[in-house]
C-alpha cells in the first residue's frame, strides 16, 4: 500500500500495556521505513493538532510502565461533524495516511463514525481492562487488572478472617463482568455478581444464611460495578437489613485496577498486536481490530467488534458456588 506516514493514539480509559503497544507500533513502523506520529490525548488531540513525530528513542524504557505516554482523553467534540472535520484536517496537515487506534468500545465506535465520512486506513488494538470486545480472547490490560484485583482481595480476605467479617468488594466492569468473574474465581469468593446475569438478591442472601448456619465465618462477595442490582453499597444495604448482627464492610477497588506495571502477558500481547497492526496497515488490511484468538493473530472489522462480546459460560458461576460451599 506504500504508506509513508502513520499516526498512533490511545483513547478512552488507560490500561496497563498501552505503552508496550505504542513501543511496538513506533519501532515496527520505523523499521518499515514509515514516519510515525504520536497523537496526544486521543481524538481530542487529533482535533487540536497535538501531534508530534516520534523516534525510536521516544519509546525506550516504557514497556514496563503503566498508563500511556501519549495521554488519553474522552472527546465529546469528536462525536460532532465539526469535530471530525477538524480532526481530519489535522491529519491532512501532517500528511498522515494511516492510523493505529488503541482503546476500547468507545474508541472503535468513534472510528466507525469517522471513517464513514473520511477515507483513511486504520487498524485498532484492544486496549481496555474490561475485556468487553469481541474478536480477541484477551484485551491489553485485562490480565494486569485482574491480578491487581486478586492481590487486593487476598489481602482483604486476611482481615476478613481476622475479624469474622463479610466483605463486599466492588471491582471495575460497567458493562462486562470479566474482572469480577476471574478475580472472584481466583480468590475463592463466596459469590460473584456481574452484569451478564440477573442478580436475585434473595438467592444471594439465602446463600449467606446457609453459610452462617454452617458457622462459616468469612464471606467475600465480588461485585462488578455494573451489576444490575447495583454496586457494593446497594448490596451491603440488603445484607445488613437481613443480617443486622453481621460485621459487613465494603471496599471499592476503583482506579487502582487501571494502574501499575503491566504483567508479562499484557506486555507480550501488546507487543504482538502492535507489530501486527502496522503489518496490516502496510499490507492494506484496514478498518479492522487486531486481536488474538487461540494464540493466533486475527483481524475483525470495527463494526463487528462493537456489536458483540464473548458470552460468559453459566457453568463458571455454578462452579463458583460449588467450590465456595
Do 63 and 267 meet the contact criterion of CB atoms below 8 Å apart?
yes
- Per-residue pLDDT, 288: 94
Same domain for 188 and 133 = no
Same domain for 182 and 154 = yes
Q: What is the set of active-site residues?
A: 130
Q: How far apart are CA 9 and CA 68, in angstroms?
A: 10
In which residue ranges of the chain is pLDDT below 70? 1, 307-311, 324-325
Provide the sign of the torsion angle of the four alpha carbons 147, 153, 157, 158, taken in this order.
positive
In sequence order, the β-bridge partners of residue 278 are: none
Inside any domain, residue 79: yes
Inside any domain, residue 313: no
Tens-place pLDDT, residues 130-170 = 888 889 999 999 999 999 999 999 999 999 888 888 999 99
How many domains, the chain?
Answer: 2
In this structure, what C-alpha cell is assigned to residue 254?
476503583
Give the domain CATH number at 280: 3.40.50.450
- Among 73, 77, 8, CA closest to 39: 8
Tens-place pLDDT, residues 16-27 = 999 999 999 999
Q: How far apart are CA 298 and CA 68, in angstroms?
A: 24
CA distances from 157 to 60, 188, 246, 247, 322 (A): 39, 10, 16, 14, 19
pTM of the model: 0.92
Q: How far apart are CA 172 and CA 121, in angstroms?
A: 33
- Per-residue pLDDT, 307: 63
Same domain for 205 and 283 = no
User: Which residue range(s) make up the domain with 235?
Assistant: 144-258
Same domain for 47 and 137 = yes
Same domain for 281 and 294 = yes
Same domain for 155 and 283 = no
Amino acid at each position: 500500500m506504500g504508506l509513508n506516514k502513520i499516526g498512533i493514539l490511545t483513547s478512552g480509559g488507560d490500561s496497563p500495556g498501552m505503552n508496550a503497544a505504542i513501543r511496538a507500533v513506533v519501532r515496527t513502523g520505523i523499521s518499515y521505513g514509515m514516519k510515525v506520529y504520536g497523537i496526544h490525548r486521543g481524538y481530542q488531540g487529533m482535533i487540536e493538532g497535538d501531534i508530534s513525530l516520534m523516534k525510536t528513542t521516544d519509546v525506550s524504557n516504557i514497556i514496563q510502565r503503566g498508563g500511556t505516554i501519549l495521554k488519553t482523553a474522552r472527546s465529546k467534540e469528536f462525536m460532532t461533524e465539526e469535530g471530525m472535520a477538524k480532526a481530519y484536517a489535522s491529519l491532512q496537515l501532517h500528511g498522515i495516511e494511516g492510523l493505529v487506534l488503541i482503546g476500547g468500545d468507545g474508541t472503535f465506535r468513534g472510528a466507525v463514525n469517522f471513517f464513514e465520512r473520511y477515507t483513511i486506513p486504520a487498524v485498532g488494538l484492544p486496549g481496555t481492562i474490561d475485556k468487553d470486545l469481541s474478536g480477541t480472547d484477551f484485551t491489553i490490560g485485562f490480565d494486569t487488572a485482574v491480578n491487581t484485583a486478586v492481590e487486593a482481595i487476598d489481602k482483604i480476605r486476611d482481615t476478613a478472617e481476622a475479624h469474622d467479617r463479610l466483605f463486599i468488594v466492588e471491582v471495575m466492569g460497567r458493562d462486562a463482568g470479566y474482572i469480577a468473574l476471574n478475580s472472584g474465581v481466583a480468590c475463592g469468593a463466596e459469590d460473584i455478581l456481574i452484569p451478564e446475569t440477573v442478580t436475585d438478591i434473595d438467592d444471594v442472601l439465602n446463600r449467606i444464611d446457609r453459610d452462617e448456619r454452617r458457622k462459616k465465618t468469612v464471606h467475600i462477595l465480588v461485585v462488578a460495578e455494573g451489576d444490575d442490582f447495583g454496586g457494593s453499597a446497594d448490596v451491603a444495604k440488603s445484607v445488613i437489613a437481613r443480617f443486622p448482627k453481621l460485621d459487613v464492610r465494603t471496599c471499592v477497588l476503583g482506579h487502582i485496577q487501571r494502574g501499575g506495571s503491566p504483567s508479562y502477558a499484557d506486555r507480550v500481547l501488546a507487543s504482538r498486536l502492535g507489530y501486527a497492526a502496522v503489518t496490516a496497515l502496510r499490507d492494506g488490511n484496514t478498518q479492522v481490530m487486531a486481536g488474538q484468538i487461540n494464540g493466533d493473530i486475527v483481524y475483525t472489522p470495527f463494526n463487528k467488534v462493537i456489536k458483540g462480546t464473548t458470552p460468559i459460560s453459566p457453568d463458571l458461576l455454578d462452579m463458583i458456588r460449588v467450590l465456595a460451599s
